[in-house]
Structure 1
C-alpha cells in the first residue's frame, strides 16, 4: 500500500480537498463512509492511497475517513478498513458511524452516502468561496479583522440630543411668546409637528418636574441649607423614575410674586419642553417621602390637571378642599388657556383687589384677604366647572400630598412596618442597582396591598407638604413653633433619604440626626 503524507496550513487548500474527495465519492456506488470527531486533533495531514483518503484537520473540520472498497475486497484486505483498526468497544458504535445499513435489506438509507456527499460538496464549496474572499481581503489589507469588515448597529437608544432637524417648527415663529397672557394657538398641533420631526423622542408620558425658590438669600439662617436638601430630595426622586427637573430661582414676571410666581414658570416650561406630556409642579417646601412610588399616569389619561382634593368639599365652598402646592398639568392647549385664566386672578391680572374680595366672600374659611392661587382654583371649579371641571381630577385615593403635622410623628412606626414586610419577603431584601429601584418599589407596593397594609398611616405618604413653615423666610405659622417645623423637616428628609442611602449600603439610624449614618449588613433586615 502506497501512503503519502503532506503537511499544510492554507484553508483554501483544505476546501479544495473536501471538494475533490467527495467528487470521488459520488463516482462510487458501493461506498462505506465512517466519520467521527477525534478526541484529540493534530496538525492537518493528508493521507492518500489508491482507493481512499483521510483528512485530519483543525477543530473546524470534520475528520472524514471514506473507505473506497467493494464489500468483497473489504473482507479480503481488512487492513484498509479504518473501522477494523478501531478498538473492539468502538466497533459499530453510532458515535463513529454516520449510518449503518443491512446488506440483506435495501432501504432508503442506501442513498445516504450520496446525500451526505452532496451536502459536504455544498459546504466545501461555500467554505472555499469564503476562504478565497478572506484571503483576498487579507492580501489587500493585512490588518483586516472581522470587526473591521462586519458592521454593527450602533444606533443610540432613546432621544437623539445631538441633532435638531432643519425643518421649521413653532420655535421659528418670531411672534412666539413664553409669557403668561400671550396666547398660543393650536399648541397641540405644534407639539405634534415638533415630535414628528424629532421622532427619536417618540410619544410617551414624559414628566418635567418644576420647582424653585426666591432669587435672594434666605432670611432664615438655616433656610438655604434646607432649600438645598429639599431640592436634593426632588432630584433623588426624579433619578429613581427618569423624570427631568427644572429648578428656577428668578421671577419670570416681576408682578408674579409668592405663590403666583409658579405660573409664568409653568407656561415657559411647557413651551421649552414640547417632548414632555406632563409638567409636575412641586412647591419647594414639599418632600417626596415615598421615593419608590410611581405616579399612576394611566389613571389620568382623560384629564389635564391632577390636584389633591375632594369634590364634596369644593361644593361646600371650603378653602381646604384642594391644595395648589403640588399638581400635575398636561402640556396641551387646554392647560395653556387654563393657566392664563388662573393667573388672571393674581397680580398679573387687571383686578387683583377685586378677586381677593370675591374669593373671601365665596370661601368662608379663607384666612387671607388677598387673592391667592388656591382660592382662585376653587373659584374656577365652582363657577366655571362646565368649562374646566371635566378635565380636572381631584386625587384623594392616595396621599398625593399630605399635611405634615399629621405625618411626621408616625414616620418611625411606618419604618418598622416596612421592615417587617421586607423580613417576610426575601426578594425585597436583595441588593440591587439604583436604576432598577422602580421594579422593587412596585413589588413592595403589591405585597403591601395583598396584606391589606396599603392604607393611610401604614404606607408611606407620597408627598409631605410643610405648609405654613416657610423654611426660607422663617415666617412660620404661629399655630406651631419653629422647632416643630425644623424637627418635622429633619425627620421627613431623613426618612426619604434612608430610601436612597439603602441603595448605597447605608442608613440614618436616627431620623432626627442628619449627620449620622451606619452601614447596612448583608440581607438587611433579615
Structure 2
C-alpha cells in the first residue's frame, strides 16, 4: 500500500486561515509524495551532480561551433597514401574555435596501441593481450591520458609492424586537441608507472625513438633504434614523414626494391623484406637534413628497453624501492591513486641505484601467435611477461592496499599492512 502524504495537522483544522495555509504548504512542497518516482538524471547533470569543484580548468566537450573546419572539407582523407597539406594551419583554426582545448595542449598525450582483429593462435595469447592492455589502461588512468586501441587494419595491405602508421595518421585528424601521440606496441609494458616522458626536452623535435647515435650513424645497425615505441608530434612534418616512411611498406610497388636497399645499407640486416625499423633508420641516416634532425634518439631512460636485459633485475629493483620507502616514511604514506604523481616527484629526490625501466619491450616474443624468436628458450617469453606485468601491477595495487608477493604469480595478492614496508 502506498504511503500517505505527511500532511501537517493544521490542514485538518476547519478555519479558513488553516485551509489557506494548508493549500500554500502543499503547493510549495510538491515532492512530499513519497510514492512519487525521483526526477531522472539528465545528461546535462553529468559533471555538476558529481560535485566537481568550481574554478578548475576543464575542456568543453559540448561546444562544437558550426564554423567551417577541415572536417567539412571533402578532400581531407584519413588514410596513408592521401597526403594532407596545411595541417598546422587547419589544426590551429580548429583550436581557435575550441579555446578550452588550447589550455595545456602542449602537454596533451594520447596513447595509441593495438592488435590483430582475430583471436590469438597461442592458447594463452588472448589472456596475455588482455593483461598487456590493462597495463596501458592503468598507466593512462594514473596520469590522466586518453588511450585508443585499434584492433583492425586501417589499411588492408599494411599489417604486422606496418599497421601503426595508418593508426597514427588517423588519430592525428581525429584528435587535433592532442599535441603528442605515444605509439606503444602491444608487446611492450609500462614498468615504471610513475614516469612521464620529459616533453620539454623535445621542444625542437617532432619524433622521439629509443636509440643510440653511434649504432645508427657509426655502425649503421638496423637495431640501432627501435620503432615499436615512439612519440610523434601532431604536425605537418609528421604527416609528411609518415607518407615517405610508408612508401617502403608492402602496399608500395617499390616494396621489394626497398628490401634490397635496406640490406645493402645495414650490414647486420639478414631479413630480406623491407621493415619499418630499417626504413626509419634509413631516413635518419640518408635524409638527415629533411627528417633526421627532427628525430630525437633517446637513451637516457628506457623508452623501449630490451626485455631480456631487464626482467632478471626486477626483483632487485623492487628491493631497492622498498628499502627507500623503509628509510623515508613519507614515501610509504598511504594515498589516493589520484595523488600518485605527487609521490613520484617526491621519490625522485631519494632514488639511488637502478631505477625502474619506463617501458620493457618483449621484442621477438609474438605473444599472440606464439612463434617467438628461436633464440628464446622454452617459455622464457611468457615467464618474463608474467614477471614484468606483476612488477608493474604492484605499483598499481599499492593505493588499493594489495601487492603481489611473488612476481611469478599474478593470481595471488595479499593485503599490505599499515605503514608498509616499515
Q: TM-score, normalised by structure 2?
A: 0.86
Offset at residue 402 of structure 1 (A)? 0.7
Match of 2:226 among 300, 323, 341: 323
Q: For residue 264 of structure 2, what is the aligned residue in structure 1?
A: 361
Aligned to 2:410: 514
Runs of 5+ unmatched residues, structure 2: 1-26, 30-52
Instruction: Please provide the CA RMSD for this pair.
Output: 1.5
Residues 388-436 of structure 1, C-alpha deviations (whole Å, 9 max, x = no match): 1111100011111210001111110100000011111111111111111
Q: 2:137 aligns with which of 235, 253, 258?
A: 235
Q: Tell me whether 1:213 sits opposite 2:213 in the alignment.
A: no
Residue of structure 2 equivalent to 1:187: 87
Task: Look up the SS of the partner of 1:510 in the other structure.
Answer: coil
Query: Which structure 2 residues correspond to residues 78-227 of structure 1 after superposition, within 5 A?
Result: 157-202=57-102, 203-227=105-129
Q: Aligned-pair distance for 1:163?
A: 2.1
Matches within 5 A, 1:333-348: 333-348=236-251
1:428 aligns with 2:331: yes
Change in 2 beyond 3 A, CA 1:503/1:353 = same
Partner of residue 349, structure 2 = 446
CA distance in 1, matches of 2:349, 2:164: 35
1:371 to 265, 269, 274: 274
Partner in structure 1 of residue 20 of structure 2: none
Conserved 8 A contact 1:293-1:442: no
Contact kept, 8 Å, 1:307 with 1:393, in 2: the verdict is: yes
Contact 1:408 1:492 in 2 (8 A): yes
1:500 equivalent among 380, 396, 405:
396
- Which whole-Å CA distance do the structure 2 matches of 1:227 and 1:354 have between them? 34
For 1:361-412, what per-residue CA distance to the aligned partner results, in whole angstroms no more than 9, with x for missing partners?
Answer: 1111113110000000111011101111111100011111210001111110
Tell me which residue corresponds to 1:286.
188
- The Cα of 1:204 is off from its aligned counterpart by 2.8
**Counterpart residue number, 1:21:** none
Q: Report the CA distance between 1:155 and its aligned residue.
A: 7.2
Residue 310 of structure 2 aligns with which residue? 407
Deviation per CA, 1:243-297: give whole Å up to 9, x if none. 1100000011110011001101110000100000001100000000000011110
User: What is the aligned residue count?
Assistant: 370
Give the greater-gyration-radius structure (CA): 1
SS of alignment partner, residue 387 of structure 1: coil
- C-alpha displacement of 1:480: 1.2
C-alpha displacement of 1:154: 5.9
Correspondence for 2:202 among 259, 280, 300: 300
Corresponding residue SS for 2:176: coil
Measured in 2, the distance between the counterparts of 1:309 and 1:462 equals: 14
Rounded Cα–Cα distance in structure 2 between residues aligned with 1:373 and 1:442: 36
User: How far has the Cα of 1:359 moved from its partner?
Assistant: 0.3
How far, CA to CA, are the matches of 2:251 and 2:235 in structure 1?
A: 22
SS of 1:307's partner is strand
Q: What's the TM-score once normalised by structure 1's chain length?
A: 0.69
1-side partners of 2:28 and 2:119: how far apart?
A: 67
| Structure 1 residue 446, shift from structure 2 partner | 2.6
Please give the alpha-carbon distance, in whole angstroms, between the structure 2 residues aligned to 1:178 and 1:380: 23
Structure 1 unaligned spans of 5+: 1-140, 144-152
Runs ≥4 in structure 1, deviation > 2 angstroms? 153-157
Task: Return the structure number with greater relative CO, CA threshold 8 A, min gap 6.
Answer: 2
Q: Could you tell me which residue of structure 2 aligns to residue 486 of structure 1?
A: 382
Partner of residue 475, structure 1: 371
